[in-house]
Amino acid sequence: MNSYLSAMRSFRDFTGRTSRGDYWRFILVYLGIAVIALMLDAAFATGNKDGGLFIGLVHLIHLVPQVAAGIRRMHDTDHSGWWLLLSPVALVFACFAGTPGVNRFGQPPMAGAVPVSIGTAPSVAAQSTPVAPVAPPQRDVIAEIERLAQLRTGGSLSETEFEVMKAQALSQARGA
């Protein structure tokens, strides 16, 4: 439900990225609401051959948030939002995993994350619980992963080889 609410609240944001999971959870909730609207149209006889009052309102309310989420989803796969104009192609792109790491559209999204501006202030109980700081990754590990990414982009490494070598670099860093 957080994915749906986050997408609805971010209806003005056509920049950045949306994870595959967040996008499809938003679509799933939207389709559920549409089914309920169709049932209401049938129950109250507000429908005709072109649609109904309730389903029309649902589509109208979700139009801009759905386009915004779709554009951010295209960005996550490192494609322009204009691909939404070619719906079958955009549907295929929306099923792809997002590009790992930073791409030309920004940082990778965190699945299920609600933007800071939307979240509420942490509770007192959450503030009093000590949390161990997470150590930043070592710079040489980051440089190694960036080097591997360049080799993958240049075609010297396949996606599988890249993932294996990245995992090895990260495990060595944890063991050090």
- Which has the higher per-residue pLDDT, 128 or 59? 59
**10 Å Cβ neighbour count for 142?**
14
Q: What share of the chain is helix, strand, coil (3-state, %, to 5)?
A: 60, 5, 35
Tell me how far apart the alpha carbons of residues 24 and 18 are, in angstroms, rounded to a whole number. 10
Tell me how far apart the alpha carbons of residues 158 and 145 are, in angstroms, rounded to a whole number. 14
The predicted structure's pLDDT at residue 133: 53
pLDDT tens digits, one per residue of 148-168: 888 888 888 788 888 888 888
Pairing type for strands 47-48 and 51-52 reads antiparallel
The predicted structure's pLDDT at residue 138: 59
In the predicted model, is pLDDT for residue 175 greater than 90? no
pLDDT tens digits, one per residue of 8-36: 999 999 999 999 999 999 999 999 999 99
Angle at 105 between CA 173 and CA 89, to 5 degrees: 110
Across-strand partners of 103?
A: 106
On whether the CB atoms of residues 66 and 60 are closer than 8 A, the answer is no
The predicted structure's pLDDT at residue 111: 53
